[in-house]
Structure 1
């Protein structure tokens, strides 16, 4: 199950203008809004749009440039997150924020962060504590 998808954009006002009407038309509702971003939610999944920093607006993929920032998925339990972390280690896959695992996202956010071969960040989130 998808938890959320965050997309960095080059111009927040233009993105808001486009996505707000489209997502509202599809039954999504506003979820969050702040100076450099906004989100829309449908059931438990939500989409986040954030304006990229000037230094990251140049061409080429990076999770902080325009485009996909990361994919986040629901896990069934904290144990499943731990099992996936162990499997990532055994496969020699890159784990992000390893020294802060499993609370890199904060004390109430039990999650694993990794990167795929193209350096796209992947997040696996346990149910809320």
Structure 2
């Protein structure tokens, strides 16, 4: 794991509170490397521009609240979206929609799904 990634201006990191860190790391490891993310520690990933890390929080219930609705990961190739979808199906992830084209921009291709704690995620190719 590379721990000397230089970050650029932008969002530095996103912290996810999760109910079971082992389950979450296993889940995110199943698809993030397919779209260019590298695991940089036992609880974090980076794409070279930012870091996502996970903190286990026992006994906290997920509630609806204002704030971020979902997190979208950029796929650099359309086929990456299909590969992520196939992995998600294999691990029996609850898929919200896709993969499909959406009218947001030309050739916008996406799959939306839930992580193990119900966080809405998206992997999209947006050329």
Q: Same fold (TM over 0.5)?
A: no
Considering only CA atoms, is the larger Rg found in Structure 1 or Structure 2?
1
TM-score (norm 2): 0.45
